Homo-oligomer: A and B are copies of this chain.
Amino acid sequence: MVTIKDVAREAKVSVATVSRVLNGSGPVSDDTRHRIREIAARMRYVPHSGARSLITSKTETLGVLLPDLYGEFFSEVIRGMDDTAQRNGFHLLISRAYADRHGIETAIRAMRGRVDGVVAMSPDLDADALLNLPSTIPVVLLCSVSRGNEVDSLTIQNCRGAKEMVSDLVARGHARIAIIKGSPRNYDAAERLRGYRLALREAGITLDPSLERDGDFTEAAGYSATLELLALRGRPTAIFAANDSMAIGALSALRESGVHVPEGMAVAGFDDIPLARYMDPPLSSVHVPICQLGARAVEMLLHGITNKNDHARRRERVSTKLVIRRSTGGQPEERPPPKTLNGEMASV
C-alpha cells in the first residue's frame, strides 16, 4: 500500500510538502504542486483516513444504531440520513443493536474512535434510562422518550397524527372504532394509542377495552387481530391500525371474510408507505416523512458535533399529515403519477 512517504520519496520532497499539496494548506510553489499531484495520481496514492483521523481527531463518520426493524421504514430513514451525511462529507457506520442496556452500551463502545457522533434509535420504552451513560460523544435519540437525558431527541408527532385520524373517523359517523396496537413497549406505539384515546374522549365516546387489540406491527398481527374483532359481539365499524403493515393485514382478513371496505368496515393505517395507495381499496393513513426524519436527525447530530460547547438540549418532532383515501370513505384519488416520480431507481 502506497503511503505519503512513498510519494514524498518519489518526488524528492518531505512528507510535509506532500501533505500541504494534498490538503491545499500552506504555501507551495506551483512547480512542486503540479509535480506532486501528478506523482500522487500516477502512484494511485490514497490517504489513509484512519491515520488522518487519529491526529485530527475527526473521523467524518456518524454512527447509526438501529433496532431490528425492517421494511420501508428502515430504508427510508437510512436514505435520509445518508443523503444529509454525504452532503456534509460524512459517512455512515450502521449497526443493528439490541435495544437493551448491554446491547446499546456495547455498540457505543465499539464505535469509540470510529465516529464523531451517534444517532440512536431505541423505541423500547425503557431505553431512556439506559442511555444515561455519560456518552462522551454527541448523541441524537430517535423515536425514543428522553426524559432525564441530556441528549437531543427527535420524534414523530405520533399522538397528534393518530388523534387526527381517529377524529376524522368520528366525523365520518363512526362511533365504535377499534385500534390494533403496536408492539407493547414501543414508544411510537404508546403515543399512537394515546392519540386514539384522546380523540375518542374528546368526542365523548367511552373507551371500550375490547376494541383495543394487541399487535406487533406485522401484517400477520393485523390479520389475526381483525379476525378477533369480527368475532366480537359489538363489532366495530372502523379499524385504526397503528401502522400500515397491520392495516394491510386487516384488509386481507376483511376481504377473506367477505366484509366490504369501507362500507362494512373502514380501515386506516399509520406511516403512509408508498404501497398504501395501491391497496384495494387505497389505504387511508397518517403520512410520516420518514426520509426527512433521518435527514433531520443527522442535521441535529452535525450541529451537536460542530458546536460541542453548546449544551442546550434540543427536542424536536416531525409533523405528520392526514391522507384520506377510499378505505375510510375518501374520494378516489387522481391517477398515480404515470412515470417515475423523481428519477430514483427502485429496488429490484
Contacts and interface: CB of A to CB of B under 8 A. Distances in A.
A75 B86 contact: no
A135 to B, nearest CB: 10
A48 to B, nearest CB: 4
B49 A78 contact: no
A172 to B, nearest CB: 23
Interface string A45-83: 011111111100001010000011111111110110011
A275 B276 CA distance: 11
A24 interface: no
A95 interface: yes
One complex includes copies of this chain to the number of: 2
B219 A275 contact: yes
Contacts of A217: 345-348
A223 B340 CA distance: 11
Contacts of A188: 348
Given A47-B113, A54-B51, A218 B340 contact: yes
A199 to B, nearest CB: 19
Contacts of A280: 251-252, 255, 280
Interface stretch (A7-15, A202-210, A229-237, A241-249): A241-249
A68 B348 contact: no
A221 to B, nearest CB: 6
Contacts of A258: none
A54 B46 contact: no
Interface stretch (A27-35, A299-307, A311-319, A331-339): A331-339
Nearest to A53: B50
Contacts of A340: 216, 218, 220-221
A50 B94 contact: no
A93 B92 contact: yes
Nearest to A337: B220
A70 B275 contact: no
A118 interface: no
Contact of A75 (B71, B223, B275): B71
Interface in A238-288: 242-243, 245, 248-249, 251-252, 255, 270-271, 274-275, 278, 280
Contacts of A101: none
Contact of A220 (B47, B251, B341): B341
Nearest to A271: B348
A46 B109 contact: yes
Contacts of A113: 46-52
A180 interface: no
A344 interface: yes
Given A68-B79, A224-B339, 15 more contacts: A70-B347, A71-B346, A73-B347, A73-B348, A74-B347, A91-B93, A92-B95, A182-B348, A186-B345, A186-B348, A216-B340, A216-B345, A220-B337, A223-B335, A243-B346
Which 9 pairs between the two chains have the least Cβ-Cβ distance? A73-B347, A217-B346, A48-B113, A74-B75, A50-B113, A46-B112, A69-B347, A49-B113, A71-B347
6 contacts: A50-B53, A68-B345, A70-B346, A82-B95, A251-B278, A271-B347
